């Protein structure tokens, strides 16, 4: 296993494994978040959010998720830099528009924008819920159990600011563009692909990307339109 993690395919292997893990996390995250729009009393979402905050299995996964993000982000800059160096003299004229997809050529930019969004997002919610607290976070009692009224914090944010809501729509779209290439690419990287599965995986990638982009976008839009 010598030098595996610094070899080109080894580096990509790390990107792929962490990418797959992050995509799985996104499915869970989106599912929980969608509860925001299926129960206007907020109980459904609050119970789910409370479960995610207190369940020991989820608690174990939290640092692993953080690590996954760190590795994915750090390695993304490493591979992008190495790949940039592989062409010291650039072309005067280069046209890749017919040869490759826009997303595939802009993974670092898309990822970096997702990262900017991620930082804002963590500050907005995670930070307030876990660390600083907020006036919008009174405790509620649901089915005899006391918990944060996370629903109030999230829904108020979206209802009060259109800019804030649109930022979240943008975040969803950017992530969708990142994974429309990332999804099938991660299987290709692991060697789980062939001529038959190529178009199937690319098709599933599109479905996944649309679900992510639309799923995350409808939540803020719901609060903007309904309230």
Partner 1 sequence: MADKILKKLYIKVWRQNNAQDKGRFETYEIENVSTGSSFLEMMDLLNNNLIEKGIDPIAFDHDCREGICGICSMFINGRPHGPDTAVTTCQLHMRKFNDGDTITVEPWRAAAFPVIKDLIVNRSAFDTILQAGGFISVNTGGVPDGNAIPISRDDAEEAMDAAACIGCGACVAACKNSSAMLFVAAKVSHLAKLPQGRIEAKARARNMVAKMDELGFGGCTNTGACEAECPKSISISHIARLNREYLVAKFAE
Question: Is residue 198 involved in binding partner 1 (CB under 8 A)?
Answer: yes
Tokens of 181: 């290439």
Task: Work out which of 30, 34, 78, 112 binds ligand HEM, going by CB under 6 A.
Answer: 112
Question: Is residue 54 involved in binding partner 1 (CB under 8 A)?
Answer: no
The answer to whether 42 and 155 have CB atoms below 8 angstroms apart is yes
Question: Is residue 72 involved in binding ligand HEM (CB under 6 A)?
Answer: yes
Tokens of 110: 């898309």
Partner whose footprint covers residue 98, from ligand HEM, partner 1, none (CB < 5 to 8 Å by kind): partner 1
Task: Work out which of 32, 52, 53, 108 binds ligand HEM, going by CB under 6 A.
Answer: 108
Question: Is residue 82 involved in binding partner 1 (CB under 8 A)?
Answer: yes
Question: Is residue 104 involved in binding partner 1 (CB under 8 A)?
Answer: yes
What is the rounded distance in angstroms from the CA atom of residue 103 to the CA atom of residue 177? 6
93: DSSP letter: S
Question: Is residue 107 involved in binding ligand HEM (CB under 6 A)?
Answer: yes
Question: Is residue 193 involved in binding ligand HEM (CB under 6 A)?
Answer: no
* Cβ-proximal residues to 138 (8 Å cutoff; 6+ apart), any chain: 149, 152
For the chain, state the CA radius of gyration: 20
Task: Work out which of 94, 132, 139, 143 binds partner 1, going by CB under 8 A.
Answer: 94
What is the rounded distance in angstroms from the CA atom of residue 205 to the CA atom of residue 185? 9
CA angle 73, 77, 79 (to 5 degrees): 115
Partner whose footprint covers residue 85, from partner 1, ligand HEM, none (CB < 5 to 8 Å by kind): partner 1
Tokens of 215: 């799923």
Q: How far is the CB of 16 from partner 1 (least distance, A)?
A: 9
What is the rounded distance in angstroms from the CA atom of residue 227 to the CA atom of residue 225? 6
Size, binding site for partner 1 by CB under 8 A: 47
SS3 95: coil
Footprint of ligand HEM on this chain (CB under 6 A)? 12, 15-16, 19-20, 22-23, 26, 72-73, 76, 80, 104, 107-108, 111-112, 114-115, 178-179, 182-183, 185-186, 189
């Amino acid at each position: 296993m010598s030098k595996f993690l610094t070899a080109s395919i080894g580096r990509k292997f790390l990107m792929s494994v962490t990418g797959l893990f992050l995509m799985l996390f996104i499915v869970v995250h989106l599912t929980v978040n969608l509860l925001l729009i299926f129960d206007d009393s907020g109980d459904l979402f609050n119970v789910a959010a409370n479960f995610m905050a207190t369940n020991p299995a989820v608690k174990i996964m939290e640092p692993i998720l953080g690590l996954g993000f760190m590795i994915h982000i750090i390695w993304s800059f490493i591979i992008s830099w190495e790949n940039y160096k592989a062409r010291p003299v650039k072309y005067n004229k280069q046209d890749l528009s017919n040869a490759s997809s826009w997303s595939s050529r802009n993974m670092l930019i898309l990822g970096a924008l997702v990262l900017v969004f991620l930082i804002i997002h963590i500050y907005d919610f995670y930070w307030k819920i876990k660390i600083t607290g907020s006036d919008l976070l009174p405790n509620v009692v649901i089915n005899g159990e006391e918990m944060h009224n996370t629903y109030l914090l999230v829904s108020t944010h979206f209802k009060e600011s259109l800019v804030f809501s649109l930022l979240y729509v943008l975040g969803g779209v950017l992530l969708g563009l990142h994974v429309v290439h990332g999804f099938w690419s991660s299987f290709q990287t692991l060697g789980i692909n062939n001529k038959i599965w190529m178009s199937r995986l690319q098709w599933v990638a599109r479905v996944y990307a649309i679900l992510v982009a639309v799923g995350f976008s409808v939540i803020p839009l719901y609060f903007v339109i309904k309230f």
